[in-house]
Every structure is written in C-alpha cells, then in structure tokens.
Chains A and B, each alone.
Chain A
C-alpha cells in the first residue's frame, strides 16, 4: 500500500513542446490542467505560481493557459495551495476546480471534502486533484541557505532546482551546474514533513512525479474513477505520449523503494514522538 490505490501506472510526457520547454519533468501537471481547461472539465486550477522572490511559490488561481505556463517547474518551498480552496469558489466564481498539491495538500483536500468544517460548498466543486510525489519540503529560508550558502549561487540567477540521484541540483541561467549532497540538506527540511506517510499522493485523482522514469518523462499513477475518465480523454485528445512503465528505467521498483523508505522512516519518527521526547507524556499524533 505504500503506492496507494491506482488503476494504472505509466511513463508519460506532454506532446506540447511549449509546455515541455519550462516543465520540471514530463509536463504532466501543466498539460493535464491545460487540456482540462480546454475541454471544460475544469474552469480554473489552484497552482503554485510565481512571486516577487525567486523560487518562492505563491498559490494562484490559473484560469488561462498563460497562467498555467507561468507556474511550471518545482520550487521546493512551501506553497499553501489549500489557502485558496474556498476563495476559488467565492470571488473567483469557479464551479469546477482543479488543484495541484503535494501529498499532504491532497490529504487536506480530501479531509476537507469529507469533513468540511469551514469549507462550505467546496466539497462538491473539486473536479480534478493532481498530486505530485514529495519526499520532503523546505521553508523558503532553507532554499536561500542551500542555494546561496552551500551552493554559492545567487538565487536570482537560478533557472532550475532539482532533487534527484541523491543530490540537490542547481542549474543557472548561464549554464553552470552545482550539486549539493542530500545529506547536507536534511537539517533544512520542514519539520512537519517528518510525520508524513505519503510519498506519491495516494489520494489524488492522478499523481505524478519524476522518480521511476528517465529525464524529461514522468511517472503517472491514475487512481480514482474520475482520474481514469479524465486521463482516457486526455490520451484520446493526443495530450500525452506514453510508454509502459516496465519498459523504462529505473521503473516502478525505485518508486516503491523510495516510498517504503520514506514511510518507514516517518512511521518510526511518529513512534519516537510517543516515547523519546517525553516522560509520562506523548507528543501529539494526528493519525487516528
């Protein structure tokens, strides 16, 4: 169950060259939303848009292809996408909402649909939830520290950040590449990530990420009935190029391995919170 329920898993990338030009991997999120917007499946999507500060994401309601394109690429910092989940059905007036999020944000979304305490009318307006794989996230200050101190690179010159192959990679506009061992990055992780028991967005309609497929491609899990329906339509519309997951390297085994590692490590930390921090008390466990 470390990979959650899914109907199919494939290797895929967008067939749209413009989307691929600025996408982190296979352009799955941008392409799916762009297709869903065209097809009327959604009338907008909450995405991690750009902000005034480099690589600091800002949640944004995208209702055009241009806005979707502007939000391409991973920022490795916190974008509180759920903060817009009610507003998107209010002043933005959307009826069919798309939302992209990390596993924890998709968990928040599904909790909000089942237990809508402060989210009136939100539960029935979620049309497409795309989850991304996530090992851990970083506060913005951590990104500054990693890129500018450990990486000795000005953040405003960075064109892309990536975590892969055991390294934190910094690519600059002028073509330089800097790599930092992941071991160095651990102290900068967001502490709340250490109780997370989901790697591949188990509760999304469709989830996607880099691990398992070659550069420029993405691993895609099609999970819910809704996701299955939308994925089939997007394939029929020619939005994606696909390959069977067992025809690519490193494939699903690596995804399973990393998911297992994350969940095992974090389960241990949740156990430790009951015994190793306290005497006669426990730190709080949110999972019941």
Chain B
C-alpha cells in the first residue's frame, strides 16, 4: 500500500522485551504491517544494517555513554526519524540500567547509562517494563492516523498522543516515589489501586487505601505514575473510550 508509514525498531541497551511485546500483538502486528506500516529497520527481524530514514523510530533501551557506537546510533536515529518514540521504561526512564555502575568484564568502563531523552529530543513515551502490546498497538494506529488520516482522525490521534508527548516533555526520571511526590503529596490520590496493579515487581501495596511503595524493590520503570488516573486524565479522550476502542478494533481487522 502506497500510503503506509515507515517504522523502524532501534535497539539500544535494552533486552528486546519491548520488541517481543510489539510482536505479542499476534495477528494485530501482521495487520499493522499489511496495512499501515513498513518495517524498514529492525536488526532482530530484518537484514538492513544501517539506520535509514523513517517516519517513526521505536527506540528501546537506554544509552551507554562509554559506548561510542551507541551514542552515534541514537544521534543518527534522531536525524533520520520524524517521530522518535521511547519504547519501554529503559528508553524513557533508564529503568534497571539506572542501577548500572560498571566494573564488569569485559568492558568495566561501561558504567553510565542514560535514557534516550537525555541525549536527544523524544516525541512520545511508551512507558512500562515491559510496555504492553496494547499500548504499542494503540500508538502505532494513532501515529498512522496522525500522519495519514483525515482532519478528524488527525485531531483524535493528536488528542490521544498528547499525554504521552507530555510525559516525554516532563523528564527522564521515574520511580515509585512519583506517586508520593506527584500524587499523594499533591492531594490528588483517591486510593483506586491502579499503581499497585501496574507495578511489574509488586513493589506497591495498598495500606488503608493508600499506596505503600517498597522502594528497594522498585526498578524505576515509571509504570505506576503513568497508569495513575491522577497523573494525566483527558476527559476529551477518555469520554470517547467506546468509539476509540471500536476504531482500534476495526483498524486491526485483517
């Protein structure tokens, strides 16, 4: 199809779990590749060796600043992509690579890792460790509508992606502490428990209706805060939930 967008998967210091999550859309991924997107770069799946131009770069992993090839690749990615998406918690927030401190064979000087947003401008965040297949799917469909849709579809896609773009503007640090700093301490927590459900390592329990964060378990992925309905909540988007879910389902029909 002529009006497909071009998408690349760029693998920095990640674990490929983000790509597996993308693949875990099963037939949905095949439909996306059939109708909406050409995968122009992905070392795991295709034999293109160098980062080409692309509409959307899905970047997973953080950047080791002692690895000059990694630094060159993230800069190259920004130059070659219209939209840079930080896919997953490592790219967004550093995640487990925040705990890296070098001293291991056979690159003991590989000790400093930064989320990609500390080296280049990032347009959209998809947090989560792993990010969910459904969130990646939604962003792909919305990115297609933003670039190729009619005016109405562009407006919807813009509204949908705005919170994920705002997360990208908000910074590169995340922690279970975010639900303390930005929700409880701000007088916004109402005890729904979303943060506890979202945490991949069960570091959050609800004690007398409020989040209790076990910070030594937290891997700094940012899922709790992003999932919290009192981090961002757009009535414009969420009030249309039926229509949006139906539209995404329809878009993914083979």
Contact = CB atoms under 8 A, between A and B. Distances in A.
Given A77-B209, A139-B209, A288-B234, A118 B190 contact: no
- With a 10 A CB-CB cut-off, give which of B187, B200, B221, B226 has the most chain A CB atoms: B187
Interface string B222-248: 111011111111110111011011000
**Size bracket, chain B contacts:** 35 or more
Interface string B56-99: 00000000000000000000000000000000000000000000
Nearest to B190: A192
Contact of A286 (B133, B135, B197, B230): B230
B58 to A, nearest CB: 16
Interface residues of A, number: 54
B197 A111 contact: no
B209 A120 contact: no
Contacts of B39: none
B163 interface: yes
B186 interface: yes
A80 B233 CA distance: 18
Interface in B189-218: 189-194, 196-200, 206, 208-210
Interface stretch (B103-111, B124-132, B146-154): B124-132
Interface string B132-162: 1111001000000000000000000000101
B63 to A, nearest CB: 22
Nearest to B182: A284
B191 A78 contact: yes
A192 B179 CA distance: 13
Interface of B: 21, 126-128, 130-135, 138, 160, 162-164, 166, 182, 186-194, 196-200, 206, 208-210, 221-224, 226-235, 237-239, 241-242, 244-245
